């Protein structure tokens, strides 16, 4: 731009906070009305909530004190935090699941960066998993053995979801590829699997895993209930992921297959290097939706009497001392689940941005 | 062109192909010799693209024989992959891999098919990128390049596999007019170095300049084939004359 050319500025009414307010909140009479009504409702609801949740709240008081105050009784959480988080895991051993969880969080956090995705990360996970397993189960290194029937609370929820999701994802991809296979036997098998699993609710799969499946096992062989629930969750989620991934595969133009073929790449390499990286990127948003809902669906294991974090909280609430404080307890649970879901969706957005190559 | 050049690199004998009930190729016979450059033209739907796509079996033929560099194309997948790695192909819509950088697009074949060390593959890739005058774009993604640049990358990608023959399927049809020249220039340079080429195109200037033979296809057959001089100045068939009058204005 040369110096003689005048810089044309937008009219003053369009810039600054006032300009923004006028343009977005008070630009017509009905928008102004809506703005005023909304502000009124916010003013009516937010300050009382803050007062209830913070100023009038009891944080560590015993239940008797709680019943006399107007605010929230967060002591239902603070006083029972160890049972909510760890369930029936032996009280003096609860440092073990705590450390196991911290290791898991550290691994997940470290895996967030794509630059860390290499062989070393794989070994970190192997070691991490082994350590977590030893911590949870015990029986060696002088750690008392803890049966998996005693596992519960947050570690159980995390176990079911982290392993459920990481195992379901590759299985779903394989099923999607199988469904598009030219080999009729494989194709039919995959279609049958996907349609059957999608055709029943997760609850029925959990029931089948916990009640019917053991009937078919030879005498003397038992498979832990957690494992059976885990397998049910994996099988269920994989079917949904398969359909999402199939959508991504269909979005890849034929030319990509042809270009790969004309270089002499075989089926496996074509899929691994050309098709899947593109297809999986396209379907990141719906995949994360499936994963998030699978994460929340792990709470359905309560109906086969596994004590996940939802069930332990409910157990606390059924204690006569703490009855009636369900608002506080469920808000706490909601925050826990929200943190899990929100970090997944944040991660997916980050991944999407990084993988965007401006196509 | 005579048989002096020895064994043909591509030999097509009585080739037939159907799409469903539609008879696309009706008995094609063609021999292509080493270092020979052939331009195929013809109206759309004449089967010219299908013909060259049969040569690396992107399309399967139902009758007849195709022999490429001494290997007959059958349903043997190992043979097909071998032939495809020896035959370069450039598409109308470039078909670069959008999730990989230009350099990665070029090194993919050498690394995974030829099992070449990464460093060596990158050296070769840079060499060919310089050749198509685009080395400065090596670390960009295809989506950031213009159509003409993308097509030149696609040509370089094929060259990295050191192909014995290159197939071009209407390489300039999807380009803006001002980009056609930069792609044709690269193809002409390639021709001058003695690359064996089969080019489906309507760029008659290109045909006159580099082709040894121009084939005219219509209705699934090769109507006539001749040296460019003869073909353009003295077409034998009525259909060829009609086609040329329409395309040369």
Interchain pair A358, B144: CB under 8 A: yes
Cα–Cα distances in angstroms (integers) from residue B27 to residues A249, B42, B227, in the given order: 36, 16, 22
Q: Is A263 on the interface with B (CB under 8 A)?
A: yes
Residue B181, phi then psi, degrees to nearest 5: -65, -45
Is A108 buried (19+), middle (13-18) or exposed (0-12) by CB count in 10 A?
middle
Low-confidence ranges of chain B (pLDDT < 70): 1-5, 249
pLDDT (average), residues A347-356: 86
Probe site for chain B from A253, A263, A270, A273 (most B CB atoms < 10 A): A263
Using the predicted structure, report yes or no on whether residue A221 has a pLDDT greater than 80. no
Beta bridge partners of B19: B22
pLDDT of residue A14: 64
The Cα–Cα gap between B141 and B127 comes to: 18
Q: What's the mean pLDDT when you consider all of chain A?
A: 84
Interchain pair B113, A264: CB under 8 A: yes
Using the predicted structure, report yes or no on whether residue A132 has a pLDDT greater than 50. yes
Of A258, A269, A355, the CB nearest to B91: A258
Q: Which residues contact A296 (CB under 8 A, 6 or more apart)?
A: A337, A341
Residue numbers in B near A277 (CB within 8 A): 99
Chains A and B: how many Cβ contacts under 8 Å?
A: 72
Residue in the block written with tokens 């040894």: B212
DSSP structural state of residue A61:
-
Using the predicted structure, report yes or no on whether residue A142 has a pLDDT greater than 80. no
Q: Which residues contact A72 (CB under 8 A, 6 or more apart)?
A: A52, A53, A56, A57, A58, A327, A328
Q: Is A357 on the interface with B (CB under 8 A)?
A: yes
Cα–Cα distances in angstroms (integers) from residue B215 to residues A57, B4, B237, in the given order: 89, 20, 12
Using the predicted structure, report yes or no on whether residue A40 has a pLDDT greater than 90. yes
Probe site for chain B from A182, A252, A259 (most B CB atoms < 10 A): A259
pLDDT of residue B145: 92
pLDDT of residue A3: 55
Interchain pair A266, B141: CB under 8 A: no
CATH superfamily of A153-355: MetI-like (1.10.3720.10)
Interchain pair B99, A259: CB under 8 A: no
Using the predicted structure, report yes or no on whether residue A49 has a pLDDT greater than 70. yes
Going by their DSSP bridges, the two strands B213-218 and B8-19 should be labelled as unpaired
Question: Which H, E and C letters describe chain B, residue by residue?
Answer: CCHHHCCEEEEEEEEEEEECCEEEEEEEEEEEECCCEEEEECCCCCCHHHHHHHHCCCCCCCEEEEEECCEECCCCHHHHHHHHHHEEEECCCCCCCCCCCHHHHHHHHHHHCCCCCHHHHHHHHHHHHHHCCCHHHCCCCHHHCCHHHHHHHHHHHHHCCCCCEEEEECCCCCCCHHHHHHHHHHHHHHHHCCCCEEEECCCHHHHHHHCCEEEEEECCEEEEEECHHHHHHCCCCHHHHHHHHHHHC
Q: What is the pTM of this model?
A: 0.82
Q: Is A90 on the interface with B (CB under 8 A)?
A: no
Of A256, A273, A281, the CB nearest to B108: A273
Query: Inter-axis angle of helices A184-198 and A225-250, to 10 degrees?
Result: 120
pLDDT (average), residues A268-290: 91
- Phi/psi region, residue B95 (left: phi>0; alpha: psi -120 to 50; beta: rest), is left
- Tell how far CA B9 is from the center of its chain: 14
pLDDT (average), residues A144-170: 84
Residue numbers in A near B96 (CB within 8 A): 259
Using the predicted structure, report yes or no on whether residue A206 has a pLDDT greater than 50. yes
pLDDT (average), residues A123-151: 80
The Cα–Cα gap between B229 and B212 comes to: 10
Residue numbers in B near A264 (CB within 8 A): 81-82, 84-86, 109, 113, 161
> What is the ipTM, given to two decimal places?
0.91
| 3-state class (DSSP) for residue A73 | strand
B68 contacts B87 by C-beta, under 8 angstroms: yes
pLDDT of residue B130: 92
The Cα–Cα gap between A28 and A13 comes to: 15
Dihedral sign computed on CA atoms, order B2, B3, B6, B7: positive
The per-residue pLDDT for range A78-120, each reduced to its tens digit, is 778 878 888 887 777 778 888 888 888 888 888 888 887 888 8
Interchain pair B85, A259: CB under 8 A: no
Residue numbers in A near B113 (CB within 8 A): 263-265, 269
The Cα–Cα gap between A167 and A231 comes to: 9
pLDDT of residue A5: 65
Is B78 buried (19+), middle (13-18) or exposed (0-12) by CB count in 10 A?
exposed
Q: Which residues contact B145 (CB under 8 A, 6 or more apart)?
A: B102, B137, B153
Cα–Cα distances in angstroms (integers) from residue A258 to residues A231, A274, A335, B5, B87, in the given order: 38, 11, 49, 31, 13
| 3-state class (DSSP) for residue A308 | strand
């Amino acid at each position: 731009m040369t110096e003689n050319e005048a810089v044309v500025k937008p009219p003053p009414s369009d810039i600054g906070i006032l300009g923004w307010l006028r343009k977005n909140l008070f630009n017509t009479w009905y928008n102004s009305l809506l703005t005023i009504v909304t502000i009124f409702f916010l003013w009516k609801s937010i300050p009382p909530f803050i007062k209830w949740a913070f100023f009038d709240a009891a944080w560590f008081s015993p239940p008797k004190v709680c019943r006399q105050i107007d605010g929230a009784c967060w002591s239902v959480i603070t006083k029972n935090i160890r049972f909510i988080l760890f369930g029936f895991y032996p009280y003096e051993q609860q440092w073990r699941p705590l450390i196991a969880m911290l290791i898991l969080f550290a691994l997940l956090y470290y895996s967030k960066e794509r630059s860390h995705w290499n062989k070393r990360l794989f070994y970190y996970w192997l070691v991490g998993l082994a350590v977590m397993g030893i911590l949870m189960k015990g029986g060696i290194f002088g750690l008392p053995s803890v049966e998996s029937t005693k596992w519960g609370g947050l570690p159980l929820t995390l176990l079911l979801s982290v392993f459920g999701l990481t195992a379901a994802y590759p299985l779903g991809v394989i099923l999607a590829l199988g469904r598009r296979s030219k080999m009729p036997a494989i194709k039919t098998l995959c279609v049958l699997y996907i349609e059957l699993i999608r055709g029943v609710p997760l609850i029925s799969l959990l029931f089948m895993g916990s009640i019917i499946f053991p009937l078919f096992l030879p005498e003397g062989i038992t498979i832990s209930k957690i494992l059976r629930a885990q397998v049910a969750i994996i099988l269920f989620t994989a079917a949904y992921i398969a359909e999402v991934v199939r959508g991504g595969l269909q979005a890849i133009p034929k030319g990509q297959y042809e270009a790969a073929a004309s270089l002499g790449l075989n089926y496996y390499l074509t899929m691994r290097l050309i098709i899947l990286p593109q297809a999986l990127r396209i379907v990141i948003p719906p995949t994360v939706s499936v994963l998030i809902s699978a994460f929340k669906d792990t709470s359905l294991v309560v109906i086969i009497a596994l004590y996940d974090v939802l069930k332990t909280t409910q157990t606390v609430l059924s204690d006569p001392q703490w009855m009636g404080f369900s608002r506080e307890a469920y808000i706490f649970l909601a925050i826990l689940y929200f943190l899990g879901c929100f970090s997944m969706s944040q991660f997916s957005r980050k991944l999407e941005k990084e993988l965007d190559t401006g196509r | 062109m005579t048989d002096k050049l020895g064994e043909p690199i591509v030999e097509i004998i009585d080739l037939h192909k159907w799409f469903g009930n539609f008879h696309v190729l009706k008995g094609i016979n063609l021999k292509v010799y080493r270092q020979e450059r052939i331009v195929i033209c013809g109206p759309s739907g004449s089967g010219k693209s299908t013909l060259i796509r049969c040569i690396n079996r992107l399309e399967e033929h139902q009758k007849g024989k195709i022999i490429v560099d001494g290997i007959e194309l059958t349903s043997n997948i190992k043979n097909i992959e071998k032939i495809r790695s020896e035959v370069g192909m450039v598409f109308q819509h470039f078909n670069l891999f959008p999730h990989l950088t230009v350099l990665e697009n070029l090194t993919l074949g050498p690394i995974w098919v030829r099992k070449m060390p990464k460093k060596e593959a990158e050296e070769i890739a840079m060499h060919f990128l310089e050749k198509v005058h685009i080395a400065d774009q090596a670390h960009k993604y295809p989506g950031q390049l213009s159509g003409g640049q993308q097509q030149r990358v696609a040509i370089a990608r094929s060259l990295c596999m050191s192909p014995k023959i290159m197939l071009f399927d209407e390489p300039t049809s999807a380009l803006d007019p001002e980009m056609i020249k930069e792609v044709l220039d690269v193809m002409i340079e390639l021709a001058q170095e003695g690359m064996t080429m089969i080019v489906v195109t309507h760029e008659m200037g290109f045909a006159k300049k580099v082709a040894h033979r121009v084939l005219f296809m219509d209705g699934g057959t090769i109507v006539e084939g001749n040296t460019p001089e003869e073909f353009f100045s003295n077409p034998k068939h009525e259909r060829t004359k009609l086609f040329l009058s329409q395309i040369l204005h």
